[in-house]
Structure formats: structure tokens, C-alpha cells
Amino acid sequence: MRKLEEVLQDWEAVIGLEVHAELTTLTTKMFCGCKLEFGADPNTHTCPVCLGLPGALPVPNKAAIESIVLAGLATNCDIEKHSMFYRKNYMYPDMSKNFQTTQGPIAFCMRGHLDLEVDGVGAKERIDLGNLKPGETGAADSTAANVTRTEDGYVAHVGITRIHMEEDAGKMVHVGGGEGRIAGATHSLVDYNRAGTPLIELVTEPDLRTPEEARLFMQKLRQIYLAIGISDCSMEEGSLRCDGNVSLRRRGTKEFGTKTELKNMNSFKNLHDGLAYEICRQAEVLEEGGIIYQETRHWDPSKKRTIVMRVKETADDYRLFPEPDLAPYDLSDEFINRVRAKLPELPDEKAQRYADTYGLSAYDARHLVDHRVTANFFEACMDLTQGDLAKPLANLIINDITAHMNADEFFDLPTSPLTPERAVELVKLLADDTISSKQAKQVFTAVLEEDKDPAAIVDERGMKQVSDTGAIEVVVDKVLAENPDKVEQYKGGKKGLLGFFVGQCMKETKGQGNPKVINQLLTQKLGD
């Protein structure tokens, strides 16, 4: 099987996402008063309504309607004032009433969009940027019509078809077998605690063209949902789930190919890797003269391949019809404006404020808001410095703190020994050349391990740099005098020896010489 970058030279991927988010910040289910509680004993939060017992009538959760309208406003959607619920009929044990209450053709939120900033290695997956210059947008009839080139990559405009409200199904537990799946299980159990949980589903237009764009869309949507406070967005616990639809077409053609659906991607990496594999698999099938079937597939991260689950259903299979027990909705302007007033500062707005107020690059600003905790930490640091040291503090957060968060899943920044005060102190020690960048990383680790102030760690370990020009000049003269042959080689053109001289000087100063001063003196004395 060819690699993704090779396949995308010949084939264009057409990707759309369906993102499901449970409204976990609510206290009760969508159509009944049962408590929402993750991890509760099985079947302890159920009632006749969510079990679909005869004669039980649903009562809509007003707070859930507010949440979906908030989500729509945050993703640039039009809010439909008139909509209704439907019954989506299917027979499966996870929904005891044999239908799911969902929305039909008109959802609460329609016709939205998000803009994705793609840069770095991920931007290389998109090969149709051609000769676009920074600031230019692809021609309307080109495959890059939704792309605007930037200095470091591009911005992709991704349409949102709709965000609709529905109820979640129960949880199937397959017992026996190796991996907890129905295949190979000896028997299956059902926990209906989750049945009836308020769930919103966002459906994108088929505007995504690379696995990286899909990953970034999912990440950005998670940031937005967390910012507006409608869900905890835990992919591990299943409160945020994603299905990816992908098809291929030859570059230069317009007609869509047959799509397959990847179900329940439960991490950003799995979403990227699953789509990448499926793109390569479909290309191999088509290039060998085979046929792509419309089917639902499962991504197996351990085997790094997709597996057929079932032939994809069509809308006709679900026999959708209006829910007779729920009246249509008519949302007033007053209601929509009241919800709009609850919108907080969204991640894009926050990143723009960081760039405008603190002079940060778009890249730094964007990565600071990747996590709420890092954005809050940066804000707290800025309050302490009145906006000074923004760039070095951003570097500390993006490079060191985020890396530590990624490496240690139990690391909790707000309760860690690294307080905003200590972060500012550490950055100041680096900024005034008290310590080197290498030493700063050592101090960062020591703060977390020993719960001490950076200045105290520097004093205890004798880490203060020597920046006295006179003292360092003596060391530089000594090193040059002891290595006359290398001095001649350097002057003869072997400029790489500068690193050798710096290393010898650092050795003489026991690692405490200021590398900047050492470099300056060496270049002066060597005649550069």
C-alpha cells in the first residue's frame, strides 16, 4: 500500500465529519428527569420515558435547547426559529423503545462554518496550493477554492451543514472475546443510563481534503464547546465522538466517489490515522480495478487498519416521521438574543487578542488557546507582568508546559507546583541572563519535582551564569592559547570549530559562563 503523500499526488480525498457531543454539563436527560452521571451503577438512572414504556410522554429539556443554540451561534450558524423532532426507527438493544428521537431536515442550527489555520508539517498534506501567494485564495473553480494561503501554510474555510439535537443510545457491554467487541463475545449486556442523554450532532460539508484538516477541525470544535461550557468533551469517556466520511476522486475530476464511514474515532490521532489509512486503502482498491462499497468501517488502532462493520444504511431504512408526542418548536428573537448574550470570548477571539495586545505571532497565540488551562495560565502570568515578557512566557507554555501535559496524563497545571508567579520568575532569570536556556529547562523540571521557587533552586545549585566580560575574557584567551592549531584551522576556513571553542570555554567556567558573551568574545578575537 502506498503512503499518504504519494496517494494524494494522484487522488483527491473528500472528507466530511459527523461530530457527536453529549451535553454533560446539564443535570438531567433530554426528555425526562433522570440524572446524568457518568460511571454510575448500570441501569440506576432510568425511567419509563427513557426506556420507552407504553404511555410515557417526553418533556423537552429547555437547558438543552439553549445549549445547542449556543453551539450554533459559536460556529457561525443560522438559528432556525421553526423546527421539530422526528422518530428515527431502528431495532437494536441499545435503544429499548426501538426509535431515536432526533431532528429532521430542518435542525435548530443550519449553514455555519469554521476557519482552520493549517501550518507546519500538516500543511504539506495539501498539495493543491499551487502558486498561491500569501493572502491569495484559490480560484472558485479549483480544488483550493476554500483555501487562503498564509506565510506558514493556509486557512481552510469549512462549511457546517447543520447541528441537530437528538438523544443518545444506551451502552452495550460485550463480555468475553479479546477486545470487548461483539465479535467473539459470549454474551452482551446493556446499560440504559446513557439512553436519553442530550446529544448534539454537527455535520460538516464535504470541504475537508486531508486527515490533518479533519483533526484540526475536531480540535477546534472541542475548544469551542469547552469555551461555551456545554460539554466536558471527554473523548476517552465517549462524550465527544466523531464519524468520518471519506471518498476519493481523481485529481482534476468533479464527481464524488463512493464514500465509506469510519465510526466513533475516540482520539485526534485515531481520526487522522484512520482517515489516512482509508484514503490509501481506497486508492489501492481503485487502482487495481476494484469497487468501493458504501459501508461503515471500524478503525483498529492496534492493527492500524480499518475493518468492515456493516453495509451503510440509507435514510429510507430509518423510516423517519414527525414525533407525534412533541410539538414543533418556535424560537423567539428574544430567546435567541438571550442565549447570544451568554457567549463568552471564543478561542479565535482570544488568540486574536493575544496577538494584538502582546505582539505574539498567530502561531503562538493559537497554540496558547489550544487548552483552556494554558490560556488561563498565560492570562494569570500577564496579570503579574502587566503584559511584559509575553513571548518568553508563551515559549515556556507552548514548549515546556504543554509537552509535560502531553507526557503525563495525570499532570494538572492549576494545582501543580508551577504557579504563574514561579513561571514569571523563571522567565525573568532567563531574560536577564542569570541562567542559560539549557539551565532554564533544568530549573523547570526541578520546580515540578521539588516544589521550590526557581531563584532558590538556582542559588542551591550554583547555577548563576558568569556574564562579567573581564572574567570570561581571561577564559577565552586561555582556551585560544592552548589550541593554536585549531585557531589556525578556524582562520583557514573551518568555521565549525567555533562550537569547539565555546564548549571548551563552558568547560573552563564549569558551565556557568554566559554563552552569548563567550560567542561575542571568541568572534572578536578570532577576527570574524
**CATH number for the domain harbouring residue 488:** 1.10.10.410
- Please state, in angstroms and rounded to a whole number, the distance separating the CA atoms of residues 158 and 148: 12
Please state the domain count of the chain: 3
Which of 439, 460, 481 corresponds to the end of one domain? 460
Same structural domain, 86 and 231 = yes
Write the pLDDT tens digit of every residue in 368-387: 998 899 999 999 999 999 87
- Please state, in angstroms and rounded to a whole number, the distance separating the CA atoms of residues 515 and 506: 8
Write the pLDDT tens digit of every residue in 421-432: 999 999 999 988
Write the pLDDT tens digit of every residue in 30-74: 999 999 998 899 999 999 999 999 999 999 999 999 999 999 999
Which of 433, 460, 487 corresponds to the end of one domain? 460
Q: 274 in a domain, yes or no? A: no
Q: 253 in a domain, yes or no? A: no
Q: Which amino acid is at 224?
A: I
As a whole number, mean pLDDT of residues 380-409 equals: 93
pLDDT in the model for residue 312: 61
Q: 248 in a domain, yes or no? A: no
Grid cell 476554500 is found at 146
pLDDT in the model for residue 528: 61
Same structural domain, 449 and 478 = no
Q: Which amino acid is at 83?
A: S
CB distance 15 to 206 below 8 Å = yes
Contacting residues for 107 by C-beta, under 8 A, at least 6 apart: 80, 83, 162, 163, 164, 165
- Please state, in angstroms and rounded to a whole number, the distance separating the CA atoms of residues 198 and 108: 14
Task: Give the residues across from 20 on adjacent strands.
Answer: 201, 241
Domain span at residue 366? 347-460
The secondary structure of residue 321, as a DSSP letter, is: E
pLDDT in the model for residue 390: 96
Share of the chain above pLDDT 90, in %: 70
Same structural domain, 235 and 383 = no
> Looking at 44-58, 296-310, 338-352, which range is the least confident one?
296-310
Same structural domain, 399 and 511 = no
The secondary structure of residue 295, as a DSSP letter, is: E
As a whole number, mean pLDDT of residues 91-119 equals: 94
Q: 29 in a domain, yes or no? A: yes
Which one has a higher pLDDT value, 213 or 140?
Answer: 213
Same structural domain, 191 and 211 = yes
Q: 86 in a domain, yes or no? A: yes
Q: How many CB atoms lie under 10 A from the CB of residue 435? A: 25
Which of 460, 478, 509 corresponds to the end of one domain? 460
Same structural domain, 71 and 181 = yes
Per-chain mean pLDDT for the chain: 92
pLDDT in the model for residue 341: 97
Quick one: pLDDT band at residue 349, thresholds 50, 70, 90?
very high
Same structural domain, 158 and 53 = yes
> HSE on the CB side for 264, CA within 13 Å?
9
Same structural domain, 376 and 435 = yes
Neighbour-count burial of 236, counting CB atoms closer than 10 A to its CB (0-12 exposed, 13-18 middle, 19+ buried): exposed
Same structural domain, 433 and 494 = no
CB distance 65 to 338 below 8 Å = no
pLDDT in the model for residue 92: 86
pLDDT exceeds cutoff 90 at 164: yes
Q: 290 in a domain, yes or no? A: no
Quick one: pLDDT band at residue 315, thresholds 50, 70, 90?
low
Q: 284 in a domain, yes or no? A: no
Quick one: pLDDT band at residue 314, thresholds 50, 70, 90?
low
pLDDT in the model for residue 82: 97
As a whole number, mean pLDDT of residues 358-376 equals: 93
pLDDT exceeds cutoff 90 at 339: yes
pLDDT exceeds cutoff 80 at 360: yes
Strands 85-89 and 321-322: antiparallel
CB distance 362 to 119 below 8 Å = no
Number of H helices and number of E strands within the chain? 19, 17
CB distance 434 to 458 below 8 Å = yes
- Please state, in angstroms and rounded to a whole number, the distance separating the CA atoms of residues 231 and 226: 6
- Please state, in angstroms and rounded to a whole number, the distance separating the CA atoms of residues 230 and 344: 12
Same structural domain, 233 and 351 = no
Q: 498 in a domain, yes or no? A: yes
Residue ranges of the alpha helices (H) in 303-385? Answer: 315-318, 333-340, 347-358, 362-368, 372-385
Share of the chain above pLDDT 70, in %: 97
pLDDT exceeds cutoff 70 at 313: no
Residue ranges of the alpha helices (H) in 176-231? Answer: 211-228
Same structural domain, 30 and 154 = yes
Write the pLDDT tens digit of every residue in 464-515: 766 667 888 888 888 898 998 888 888 888 888 888 998 898 888 877 788 8
pTM of the predicted structure, to 2 decimals: 0.86
Neighbour-count burial of 298, counting CB atoms closer than 10 A to its CB (0-12 exposed, 13-18 middle, 19+ buried): middle
Same structural domain, 66 and 120 = yes
Write the pLDDT tens digit of every residue in 226-254: 999 999 999 988 899 999 999 999 998 99
